[in-house]
């Protein structure tokens, strides 16, 4: 009886560790393919880069993102969720002057939304189960960063050049997001 219990407990432990290990790997590959798909869709939205140099601006992406600081798994979920959410909010804005293919933009929005929702579920689960000290400073830096992007678009009245600059910036976002999620390896 006792040994059966021990065996069951061992098995249970083994399987829960397995599930955790798998979900890390699974999440990483999922985030990485989402990010790649979004990047490809973004690249399909052509712009007029050479005429937009005067509109260039440094949005000052948070240093911890740019320098690829190593985050804990919980923070990676929190941070990538914020990024997908904010990028989704940005591309829902007025693109009427860009001449972008609306189907491509729609596909991008669908992808962003799906990934954002998926991360939300995981995030809620983590918040329920764990007593984790969140890195809210990075989150705050990110919120300010995306606010600067939105303010820029508004100030430029959603011009084609402004959108071209923002599109390039968000492409860089996915590059950093990919490095960030690499730390999800076990």
Ligand X SMILES: *[C@@H]1O[C@H](CO)[C@@H](O)[C@H](O)[C@H]1NC(C)=O
Report the residue number, 101 or 151, with the smaller CB distance to ligand X: 101
Report the residue number, 14 or 114, with the smaller CB distance to ligand X: 114
Which one among 136, 143, 147, 186 touches ligand X, defined by CB under 6 A?
136
Q: What is the C-alpha to C-alpha distance for residues 114 and 73, in angstroms, rounded to an integer?
A: 20
Q: Which residues contact 35 (CB under 8 A, 6 or more apart)?
A: 174, 177, 178, 181
Joined together, the tokens standing for residue 7 give 């065996």
Q: Taking the mean position of all CA atoms in its chain, how far away is CA 106?
A: 17
Which one among 94, 117, 179, 186 touches ligand X, defined by CB under 6 A?
94
Backbone dihedral region of 15: left (phi > 0), alpha (psi from -120 to 50 degrees) or beta? alpha
DSSP 8-state secondary structure symbol assigned to residue 4: H
Nearest to 170 by CA among 112, 106, 120, 103: 112
Report the residue number, 10 or 84, with the smaller CB distance to ligand X: 84
- Does residue 132 bind ligand X (CB under 6 A)? no
Of the candidate spans 14-22, 51-59, 98-106, 112-120, the one that interacts with ligand X by CB under 6 A turns out to be 98-106
- Does residue 131 bind ligand X (CB under 6 A)? yes
Q: Which x/- pattern over 18-57 shows residues binding ligand X (rule: CB under 6 A)?
A: ----------------------------xxx---------
Q: Which x/- pattern over 53-82 shows residues binding ligand X (rule: CB under 6 A)?
A: -------------------------x----
DSSP per-residue codes, 116-154: HHHHHHHHHHHHHH------HHHHHHHHHHHHHHHHHHH
How many residues at the interface with ligand X, by CB under 6 A?
Answer: 17
Report the residue number, 46 or 70, with the smaller CB distance to ligand X: 46
- Does residue 97 bind ligand X (CB under 6 A)? yes
Q: What is the C-alpha to C-alpha distance for residues 7 and 35, in angstroms, rounded to an integer?
A: 41
* Residues that bind ligand X in the complex, under the rule CB under 6 A: 46-48, 78, 94, 96-97, 99, 101, 103-104, 127, 131, 134, 136, 157-158
């Amino acid at each position: 009886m006792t040994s059966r219990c021990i065996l069951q407990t061992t098995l249970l432990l083994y399987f829960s560790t397995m599930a955790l290990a798998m979900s890390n790997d699974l999440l990483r590959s999922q985030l990485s393919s989402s990010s790649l798909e979004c990047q490809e869709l973004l690249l399909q939205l052509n712009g007029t880069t050479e005429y937009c140099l005067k509109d260039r601006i440094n949005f000052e992406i948070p240093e911890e993102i740019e320098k690829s600081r190593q985050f804990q798994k919980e923070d990676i979920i929190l941070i990538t969720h914020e990024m997908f959410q904010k990028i989704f909010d940005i591309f829902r804005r007025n693109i009427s002057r860009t001449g972008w293919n609306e189907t491509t933009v729609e596909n991008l929005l669908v992808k962003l939304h799906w990934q954002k929702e998926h991360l939300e579920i995981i995030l809620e689960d983590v918040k329920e189960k764990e007593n984790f000290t969140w890195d809210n400073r990075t989150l705050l830096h990110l919120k300010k960063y995306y606010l600067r992007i939105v303010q820029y678009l508004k100030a430029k009245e959603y011009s084609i050049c402004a959108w071209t600059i923002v599109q390039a910036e968000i492409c860089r976002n996915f590059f950093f997001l990919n490095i960030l999620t690499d730390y999800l390896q076990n």
